[in-house]
Amino acid sequence: MASSAIPAIDVSPYFRSDEENEEGKKKAMEQIRDACVSYGFFQIANHGIPLDSLSTTIDMYKTFFATSDEEKLSLPDYLKSTQESAGTYEHFRIRFSSSSAFDVCPNNPPAFRQVLEEMASHFTKLGVLLERIISECLGLPPDFLGNYTNDRSRDALMGLHYFPAEEDENTGKPAHEDPGCFTIVYQYEVGGLQVQKGGQWIPIAPCKDKLVVNIGDVIQVLSNNKFKSAIHRVVRPTETHRYSCAFFYNLQGDKWVEPLPQFTTEIGESPEYRGFHFDEYLQLRLRNRSHPPARPEDFIHITHYSISS
């Protein structure tokens, strides 16, 4: 296993307005750009989300996951297992029907909706900031990705609970890439998240005051492979439960995705991908889970849209 550390970047300059802070923003942007090129992953410190809010959110998820299966299974966005990883983890996903409302939220624990709405608001604001930074890292206008995504109704907030691994077992979330723009993850106290680079797995140690950000397939395609959507996985620890929280910054399903001319025709490079509707890709990825192919090489990844050289 590789020992290289995924960079941790101080983004506090983006929360201050003094002119002397421009140097801090420039440094952070350079670090994020390098991380997106090298890893597709980075950590952020001083991110503006109160640590007590993050801790309370994890506590609420722990309470929810401790409720009866009958109660959890009554909710449409609760998933206890899949064919790809039966019995290893469970998750509950909150989707938005508008920028500030959830489609479904459990009544137990009683304060769950209030806590998750507050956390969703924090994550959304941070996501808007990150999309501006990523736009500038790509040499695009700061509002480019904001105008491109133009809708927050497909974002999702997910709590995950990984059961302790049995002896000699470390399966968790199998190796995968995220399909959307980017994902923000809070690992809390227990690690297990690993990123693949150069054929080796790099662990990301949990840290209560840092968030993990990873680039998704949409950004990789738009940038024509300039920024990476890295393969990652979760390895379950033994003798302890693992809880985490993830925010998926997504697109509308009917959005057309293809390499931008700024990274192809305008610089004399050929596109690495053919265009597609985002929802089409999501459906193919969903089929990976509902009807896993017999051969690993038949799983659908973003390479499904690659243009052969």
Q: Output the pTM of the full model.
A: 0.92
Hey, what domains does the chain have and what are their CATH numbers?
A: 8-251 (2.60.120.330)
**pLDDT value for 263:** 97
Per-residue pLDDT of the chain (309 residues; tens, 9 = 90+): 444 589 999 999 998 877 668 889 999 999 999 999 999 999 999 999 999 999 999 999 999 999 888 888 888 778 775 434 456 888 888 876 555 556 677 777 888 888 998 999 999 999 999 999 999 999 999 999 999 988 888 888 999 999 888 766 656 778 899 999 999 999 988 989 999 998 899 999 999 999 999 999 999 999 999 999 999 999 888 888 999 999 999 988 889 999 999 999 999 999 999 999 999 999 998 887 777 778 777 788 999 999 974
Query: Coil, strand or helix: which one is 158?
Result: strand
- Measured CA to CA, the distance from residue 196 to residue 33 in angstroms comes to 18
**pLDDT value for 183:** 97
Please count the other Cβ atoms lying within 10 Å of the Cβ belonging to residue 20.
8
Contact 5, 39 (CB under 8 A): no
Backbone angles phi, psi at 9, to 5 degrees: -120, 130
What does R_g of the chain's alpha carbons equal in angstroms?
Answer: 19
